[in-house]
Amino acid sequence: MIIITGAAGFIGSNMITGLNGAGYSDLVLVDDFSRPDRERNYAGKKYRQLVDRRGFPAWLREEHRQVQLIIHLGARTDTTEFDWEVFLDLNLDYSKELFSLCVEFGLPLIYASSAATYGLGEKGYNDAHSVVPDLQPLNPYGRSKNEFDHWVLGQERKPFFWAGLKFFNVYGPNEYHKGRMASVVYHAYKQIEQTGGMKLFRSHRPDFGDGMQARDFIYVKDVVEVIIYLMQERPESGLYNLGTGEARTFKDLVTATFRAMGREPAISFIDTPEDIRDTYQYFTQAEMGKLREAGYRLPFRSLEDGVEDYVGSYLKPNKVN
């Protein structure tokens, strides 16, 4: 039996599809299932049971003998939320409880960290454990993820296998419910569909042209493949970056979206809002050496291939994965 927390969400629901495709159907899905807007993310998929996230620790104490692995993807991911108590509850205390239960019951754990831990990238994007105490996240979300990583590394007792994955900019199907936190691909598709054009933030730095701000964009199907690899192969435990290792510009991303929609690019620029201008990231790029050294050999999809699949297979037909 495999547990997936955050199973009704974006990455979690893609995880269900990926596991089903790999022959795994004995799954227990954990989340807040009270939201009808996310039901389509898990409808029709193969699983054993739904468990409410608040009742999951008690459920695990009763059923742990049947569990082979926990994939902990559930979290509050809103980077614009500044109430620390929200993140303390959902991202820190809850994750610590699950980690401790995995230690107690001898269960392997794969959990979602985030590239938001790297802040403005002053220390680079190196997933070495030694840099974690010195990282300076820009918001409470990133702080919560970094504090959990730091706490995990400081534990004397850990699960016999664990991996914390620092997700970079993940995009792909099943993110329609995320509102402003959905990927730029999703928002570009909607804006292009409604207006025929796309507005990007203007650069406010002389070393970057407009639209040349860059991120490491990774397609959610690649994320799922990495998690399945770690689940099956169980290399050395630790923190792992999960991006493509190649930064691409927002102009590249939006151009790919126009092309996937069969339209000529029509891009304009607006000022970056002043309240986020000083902390706006102009470049992120994952160092992927550790994951490759751990034996992961599959190539990551190019931005163009990922956007083409996302737009053509899911956004245009209004389908979920």
Residue percentage of the chain with pLDDT more than 90: 89
Active site residues: 141, 178
Task: Walk me through the domains of the chain, giving residue ranges and CATH numbers.
Answer: 2-171+217-246+283-300 (3.40.50.720)
Per-residue pLDDT reduced to its tens digit, 84-103: 887 888 889 999 999 999 99
* Alpha-carbon span 223 to 240, nearest angstrom: 12
Structure tokens at 113: 């960290």
Per-residue pLDDT reduced to its tens digit, 147-189: 999 999 999 999 999 999 999 999 999 999 998 889 999 999 9
* Neighbouring residues of 100: CB distance < 8 A, sequence distance ≥ 6: none
Which pLDDT score, from 0 to 100, does residue 181 have? 87
Q: Name the strand (E) or helix (H) holding 92.
A: none
Task: Specify the length of the chain in residues.
Answer: 321
* Alpha-carbon span 236 to 162, nearest angstrom: 8
* Alpha-carbon span 22 to 147, nearest angstrom: 33
**Listed residue (305, 35, 9, 8) closest to 185, CA to CA:** 305
Coil/strand/helix, residue 79 = coil
Helices 94-105, 56-63: inter-axial angle, 10-degree rounding: 0
Per-residue pLDDT reduced to its tens digit, 244-273: 999 999 999 999 999 999 999 999 999 998
**Listed residue (261, 258, 168, 145) closest to 218, CA to CA:** 168
Per-residue pLDDT reduced to its tens digit, 225-243: 999 999 999 999 999 999 9
As a whole number, the mean pLDDT across the chain is 95
pTM of the model: 0.96
